[in-house]
Amino acid sequence: MPAPVEARGLVKRYGEIVAVDHVDLTVETGNVYGYLGPNGAGKTTSLRMLLGLIRPDEGAVRLFGRDPLVDGARALDGVAGFVEEPRFYPYLSARKNLELLAAYDAGGARDRIDSVLETVELTERAGDKVKGYSHGMRQRLGIAGALLRDPRLLLLDEPTTGLDPAGIRDMRDLVRRLAEQGMTIVLSSHILAEVEALCDRVAILRRGRVVFEGALAELRDAAGGFYALRTTDQARALRVCQAHAGLSGVRPDDGAVRFSGPEDAVASLSIALGEASVGILALVPHVATLEELFFDVTESERAAEPEPARAVGAAS
Amino acid sequence: MGGALTVYRWELRKLLSQKRTYIGLLFATAVPIIFVTTVAARNHGPEDVPFGRYVLQSGLAVPLVLLTFGAYWLFPLITALVAGDIVASEDHNGTLKTILTRSLDRAPIFAGKALAACTYAFVALLAMAVVALVGGGIMAGFHSLVSLSGTTVHPGRALVLIGGSFLVYFVPMLGIAAIGLLFSTLARNSAAAVVGTLMLSFVLQLVAILPGLGGIKPYLLTNQFFAWHGFLRVPTDWAPIGHALWVCAIWFVASLVVGAIVFVRRDVAGG
Ligand SMILES: Nc1ncnc2c1ncn2[C@@H]1O[C@H](COP(=O)(O)OP(=O)(O)O)[C@@H](O)[C@H]1O
Ligand SMILES: [Mg+2]
């Protein structure tokens, strides 16, 4: 059984901008996969390539082993989803829109119209033209349109964007319910908390590149490990740390030396510092929150240097 | 094929729910009504159009006058109104991504749209013909018609010839529809595609009257709007009709193939 999503070396350029820059992505059956990144990171562009809406400049996509560029609509068998705001024919009612989509789907999609309307709580408004729908209702209708296909893989692009708090809660509950039913879900988001609440695996995207990929637990571990060291001789301490085996990401940081590494390496470091006649004033383990890590890998300029290898290295 | 027919049926349903559909049909039916009432009120037919002199003698001349009149902008406009919109409106509504992530390939979707645009052109032409015949009949009755060769044609026979003329007239309309579809696919903007199609049709008519360009005149799409004259000669002159068929086929196929290739390959990055 091929994986629901396997993307290799995806690149999409828009003139000077590299919207998606060599992205590899593997989503296994049953994953609720968070695709995380700030606005403009390339999430939507990636999902468009997965759905066969745009052609990658390089690389290839496989959905359950099928390539949308080679197999056309067949590659979307068992796949549903939408990018950005779901769009419908404004002059048709919600039900008519779903009937059209069901006709464009293979199989018994038409018989599911009532039940998907029920699922997204639009049954009562189904006769109204989509023209008069609020953003939240369109978002729900988008989910309904996707569920019509009875998908095994659901791709959702920031489905809570623009919703009010109740709408966000409902949408998250719905995604959770679908995941519990065994659906594989890829959920893009620029909000870490959302991914944290729903997903078991994440890829973090920054300027088109994946800067972290792994289980959420690994992300937490990666976020846990750095130390801040203050000594009587910071210059020498920095040199000792840089020479010390097992430490990574050594750099001066706000009057301290900052590094990460396993506990035994830190223990031997304290001895090495003593041998080098550097007095330790403070050696503080720092547990970064996910927010800080997210910020670190996505926005900090330092993260553009080889430094974020810390996060990626911890994952691989 | 089944996919294209599914799309076709839904495109027709969508057309029935859109205002512009009825605007085009309104043009197609209002023009003969305005024409007949004006002629009846002034008790005078147009002189410089084929069959114009006979509209008060036989209502059968009315649809034929309107065929000539409609070639300049009316039918190109009505055809372009829907053909130019049918892909671009998906861009406008952002619905391409919606329909292209279902189980149908892009080619049958394009084919269904093309079929719907052509059907619409046919319905508009038919509506015009029916209203023109009824209006002409009421005004002048269904009497014998004088053919372009000066012979008298009995009403029954004239009706058959009118039917044939409308069918031949529909052929260049198919070419316009294909161009509208191509522009709709390229421009991704409905107004631009409609205006572009109309402009092209004007340019072709302009080329036809420019001095020194007479040689290409027989191959211009808009020139085929007069091929039906062959039916109204005695004996029937099949040469312009056969010529129109293959010239229009080239315009039609070329526009449709280019449009289809662009549609199948293009990135759907909006919406
Ligand atoms: N159709 C397009 N034309 C030009 N640039 C685009 C297009 N689509 C996306 N981009 C650019 O690609 C980058 C990634 O965009 P996008 O995938 O929409 O990011 P996200 O969904 O993560 O917010 C952005 O810099 C955006 O401006
Ligand atoms: Mg986006």
Q: What does the domain layout of chain B look like in residue ranges?
A: 2-264
Q: Which residues surround ligand 2, an ion (CB under 5 A)?
A: A 44
Upstream peptide bond of A306 is cis (omega within 30 degrees of 0):
no
Residue with tokens 């038919």: B126
Q: What is the pLDDT of residues A105-150, one digit of tens each?
A: 977 899 999 999 999 999 999 999 999 999 999 999 999 999 999 9
The partner residue sitting opposite A105, judged by closest CB among B17, B100, B102, is B102
Q: Cα separation of A62 and A50, whole Å? A: 8
Of the pLDDT bands very low, low, confident and very high (cuts 50, 70, 90), residue A303 is very low
Average pLDDT over residues B181-192: 97
Q: What is the pLDDT of residue A68?
A: 94
What spacing in Å lies between the alpha carbon of A34 and ligand 2's midpoint? 14
Q: How close does chain A come to B264, measured CA to CA in Å?
A: 10
Of the pLDDT bands very low, low, confident and very high (cuts 50, 70, 90), residue A299 is low
Q: What is the pLDDT of residues B54-102, one digit of tens each?
A: 999 999 999 999 999 999 999 999 999 999 999 999 999 999 999 999 9
Residue with tokens 């036989």: B58
Say yes or no: B17 contacts chain A, CB-CB below 8 A.
yes
Average pLDDT over residues B202-222: 90
What spacing in Å lies between the alpha carbon of B62 and ligand 2's midpoint? 58
Q: Cα separation of A154 and A178, whole Å? A: 9
Q: Edge-to-edge strands of the sheet including A248-253?
A: A248-253, A256-260, A226-231, A280-286
Q: What is the pLDDT of residue A300?
A: 55
Q: What is the pLDDT of residue B214?
A: 80
- Between B1 and A181, whose confidence is greater? A181
Segments of chain A assigned E as strands: 5-14, 17-27, 32-36, 58-63, 79-82, 153-157, 184-189, 201-206, 209-215, 226-231, 248-253, 256-260, 280-286
**Taking the model in full, what pTM does it have?**
0.86
Asked whether residue A225 carries a pLDDT value surpassing 90, the answer given is: no
Cβ-defined contact of B100 to A89 (cutoff 8 Å): no
- For residue B268, the 8-state DSSP code is -
Of the pLDDT bands very low, low, confident and very high (cuts 50, 70, 90), residue B215 is confident
Average pLDDT over residues A74-101: 96
Closest chain A residue to B112, measured at CA: A104
Tell me what percent of the residues of chain B surpass a pLDDT of 70. 100
Asked whether residue A222 carries a pLDDT value surpassing 80, the answer given is: no
With vertex at residue A141, the alpha carbon angle to CA A135 and CA A142, rounded to the nearest 5 degrees, is 90
Say yes or no: B264 contacts chain A, CB-CB below 8 A.
no
- On whether the CB atoms of residues A47 and A122 are closer than 8 A, the answer is no
Q: What is the pLDDT of residue A287?
A: 65
Closest chain B residue to A93, measured at CA: B17
- On whether the CB atoms of residues B222 and B201 are closer than 8 A, the answer is yes
Of the pLDDT bands very low, low, confident and very high (cuts 50, 70, 90), residue A316 is very low
Asked whether residue A282 carries a pLDDT value surpassing 70, the answer given is: yes
Cβ-defined contact of B265 to A55 (cutoff 8 Å): yes
Of the pLDDT bands very low, low, confident and very high (cuts 50, 70, 90), residue A296 is low
Average pLDDT over residues A45-63: 97
* β pairing state of A248-253 and A209-215: unpaired
What spacing in Å lies between the alpha carbon of A157 and ligand 2's midpoint? 7
Cβ-defined contact of B269 to A48 (cutoff 8 Å): yes
Q: Comparing C-alpha atoms, which of A42, A10, A8 is closest to residue A26?
A: A8
Asked whether residue B137 carries a pLDDT value surpassing 60, the answer given is: yes
Q: How close does chain A come to B99, measured CA to CA in Å?
A: 7
- For residue B256, the 8-state DSSP code is H
Query: How far is the first Cα of chain B from the last one, in angstroms, to the nearest whole number?
Result: 28
Q: Cα separation of A305 and B43, whole Å? A: 88
Question: B268 contacts in A (CB within 8 Å)?
Answer: 48, 53-54
Asked whether residue A218 carries a pLDDT value surpassing 90, the answer given is: no
Asked whether residue B271 carries a pLDDT value surpassing 90, the answer given is: no
Interface test with B, best of A46, A57, A67, A87 (most B CBs within 10 A): A87
Average pLDDT over residues B185-192: 96
Residue with tokens 């750099």: A251
Cβ of A41 below 6 Å from ligand 1 = yes
Say yes or no: A88 contacts chain B, CB-CB below 8 A.
yes
What mean pLDDT is reported for chain B? 95
Average pLDDT over residues B45-50: 89
What spacing in Å lies between the alpha carbon of A158 and ligand 2's midpoint? 7
Asked whether residue A220 carries a pLDDT value surpassing 70, the answer given is: no
Cβ-defined contact of B10 to A89 (cutoff 8 Å): no
Q: Cα separation of A265 and A206, whole Å? A: 31
What spacing in Å lies between the alpha carbon of A50 and ligand 1's midpoint? 15
Tell me what percent of the residues of chain A surpass a pLDDT of 90. 72
Which of the residue ranges A186-200, A203-217, A278-292 would you say has the lowest mean pLDDT? Answer: A278-292
What mean pLDDT is reported for chain A? 88
Tokens of A82: 């939408």
Interface test with B, best of A89, A96, A128 (most B CBs within 10 A): A89
Cβ-defined contact of A91 to B101 (cutoff 8 Å): no
Cβ-defined contact of B99 to A90 (cutoff 8 Å): no
Average pLDDT over residues A233-241: 92
Cβ-defined contact of B103 to A84 (cutoff 8 Å): no
The β-bridge partners of A202 are: A34, A214
Segments of B143-190 assigned E as strands: 145-146, 152-153
CA A283 to chain centre: 34
